[in-house]
A and B are shown apart, each in its own frame.
Chain A
Amino acid sequence: MINAQRFTFSRVAIYATLILAAAVYLVPLVVMLLTSFKTPEDIRTGNLLSWPQVIDGIGWIKAWDTVGGYFWNSVKITVPAVLISTFIGAMNGYVLSMWRFRGSQLFFGLLLFGCFLPFQTVLLPASFTIGKLGLANTTTGLVLVHVVYGLAFTTLFFRNYYVSIPDALVKAARLDGAGFFTIFGRILLPMSVPIVMVCLIWQFTQIWNDFLFGVVFASGDAQPITVALNNLVNTSTGAKEYNVDMAAAMIAGLPTLLVYIFAGKYFLRGLTSGAVKG
């Protein structure tokens, strides 16, 4: 932070630029909201930022009718996948930081690469496997895929967090007679609230926002909301109802947006720690 308080003109210019930029970032969200409450007629006659002539909820109702079921699919996929991958990541991170053994560092290196893995290189074999397991086009199959390919990040989060905790803590607990799981459950886990939050939020946004796995491994009734939204927006049959499109997009975006608003601190930490250290 450099003290520039004295130059009043440049202060004004800085604030003006920042506010203008904020407005630009907000425009798409505002347009989505405005459009979603307009009638198709209103959309044709008005413009992006014109106020709706009447606030009309029909777009939202129609959107929910179309994508509501898939919204619940996304919930059914996201909740278990987030919990399972976070739990496994925590255990992995615990072992990789506090109970290293010959080869565990190598494993961590191999796992780290998973953070950068372009999923295109595993899509085909993964789809064969999902098919063999009879999980094609099921939400269970997607849970499995998300757990497997989320492990790299969840492990990284916990491992980096636990590495910063002095291992004397584990030594003390071992001398006190505590075993592997007792040390984890009674000592480390209660200290892990911040990183658990980071990991949950990171996994939630990743999995909720996923499109690639959804479109490859699930179609029809099992597809997540991102796939449903994409199908809705890109159908070329019938008249385009932009109010429905925008309402559906809002429905798809709201859960992660709310998480961001209420837990932005952890969201940012996840982005930077996960990404920077990756």
Chain B
Amino acid sequence: MATLELRNVNKTYGKGLPDTLKNIELKIDDGEFLILVGPSGCGKSTLMNCIAGLETISGGAILVDDADISGMSPKDRDIAMVFQSYALYPTMSVRDNIAFGLKIRKMSAAAIDEEVARVSKLLQIEHLLSRKPGQLSGGQQQRVAMGRALARRPKIYLFDEPLSNLDAKLRVEMRTEMKLMHQRLKTTTVYVTHDQIEAMTLGDKVAVMKDGIIQQFGTPKQIYNDPANLFVASFIGSPPMNFIPLRLQRRDGRLLALLDSGQARCELPLGMQDAGLEDRDVIVGIRAEQIVLAPAEANGLPVIRAEVQVVEPTGPDTLVFVTLNGIKVCCRMAPDDAPAVGQSLNLQFDPAKVLLFDANTGERLGAMSSPQAQGRADNVAQFKGR
């Protein structure tokens, strides 16, 4: 296994064209599971191809175990990859698919047999070894593709949206299985996905990308609780975070956000006190699960009464939509607490969990609101200091 470090990696397809990758800086430790997540076209697949050596980088360096590999051809990088389309060799049996890379590397026949046996046992595909890829189901092809990568025992594994061609049920199963596999094998892994649930569940570290730039790099928890900007906040989390544009006011030294549900108003005091935020267009972000029903007796937190407009039961919880400041806002509730459409509710927010973003730049505003945020701040400092 190995560490992987990207130093100021740039990629462009020609002068005049926008950069595909801009100043990518990442470092993961031996055995870590890195997720590259972002919308399509954000450069995550290009970045992965660059790590694999299938595309050359225009600037910067890629280091594996502190050795620069950016000039090497793919075969010498000792990296294995699992593709979205699986890319199994259609004319070869499963056994030959797994053994192909080993044969090319002139491994002895006995050693190859041993390796194929090990991998196929691990992935429970022993009974499929003599079949052709065309005779396998999607999930089985997926396993074979992983087996092909595992058999090589490379320093780094790359996964390019490996689960996106599976149906929903199988995708969840394979996700769990991959997590289990990583916990057992402790392989250094880079995993590209556009699915934010995969990003949250699988990764030790997550890099959220957009337009060729890493928007935020941190643990899943940091990314979820302390998004660096509006994009990260909106991309991670389901249902997506609620965003309410408004102007902040300051009274008695406290920053206030004015909310209006149509039938009631409320002044929400914010946890942060930074100067300069008042009388300024900001976007208030709050996640659906952080809007709760107010308890019967007052607890000191402000309450706002709002009318329920849509109710969406999802099973484990129910999503309730109300209107605040003309924006539809989603609240997540336990099914038993869920009201009916047309009813009015008393809602409460935890001011400490409310996030603020600059309405123009989308950047996060104000001091970090929670203990985790300090971690992120440290992380950013460390990141920038390198």
Contacts and interface: CB of A to CB of B under 8 A. Distances in A.
A–B direct contact (CB < 8 Å): yes
Interface of A: 166, 168-169, 171-179, 182, 186-187, 190-191
Given A169-B89, A176-B100, A178-B75, 16 more contacts: A168-B84, A169-B87, A171-B49, A171-B52, A172-B83, A173-B100, A174-B74, A175-B54, A175-B74, A175-B80, A175-B101, A176-B75, A177-B101, A178-B100, A186-B89, A190-B91
Contacts of B268: none
A177 B75 contact: yes
A186 to B, nearest CB: 8
Contacts of A190: 91-92
Interface in B213-233: none
Interface string B64-82: 0000000001110001110
A78 to B, nearest CB: 29
A191 to B, nearest CB: 6
A173 B97 CA distance: 10
Nearest to B106: A177
A172 B74 CA distance: 10
B95 interface: no
A190 B97 CA distance: 14
Given A171-B52, A175-B81, A191 B90 contact: yes
B75 A168 contact: no
A166, A168, A169, A191 pick with most chain B CB within 10 angstroms? A168
Contacts of B89: 169, 172-173, 186-187
Contacts of B104: 176-178, 182
Contacts of B90: 191
A171 B105 contact: no
A173 B49 CA distance: 14
Given A166-B85, A168-B85, A191-B91, A175 B79 contact: yes
Given A190-B91, A191-B90, A191-B91, A175 B75 contact: yes
Interface string B53-67: 110000000000000
A171 B101 contact: no
A182 B105 CA distance: 12
A186 B152 CA distance: 19
A55 B80 CA distance: 71
A179 B100 CA distance: 12
B83 A176 contact: no
Nearest to B84: A168
12 contacts: A171-B49, A171-B52, A171-B54, A172-B83, A173-B89, A175-B79, A175-B81, A178-B75, A178-B104, A182-B104, A190-B91, A191-B90
Nearest to B73: A174
A174 B91 contact: no
Contacts of B83: 168, 171-172
B75 A172 contact: no
A176 B91 contact: no
B105 A177 contact: yes
Given A187-B89, A187-B91, A176 B101 contact: yes
Contacts of B148: 172, 176
Given A166-B85, A182-B104, A175 B91 contact: no
A169 B84 CA distance: 11
A142 B325 CA distance: 83
B73, B104, B152 pick with most chain A CB within 10 angstroms? B104
Contacts of A191: 90-91
Contacts of A179: 75
B72 to A, nearest CB: 12
B153 to A, nearest CB: 13
A182 B92 CA distance: 14
Please name the 7 residue pairs, one residue from A and one from B, whose CB atoms are nearest each other, closest first. A176-B101, A168-B87, A190-B91, A177-B75, A172-B87, A177-B104, A168-B83
Contacts of A169: 87, 89
A174 B148 CA distance: 13
Interface in B329-348: none
A169, A177, A179 pick with most chain B CB within 10 angstroms? A177
Contact of A166 (B73, B87, B92, B101): B87
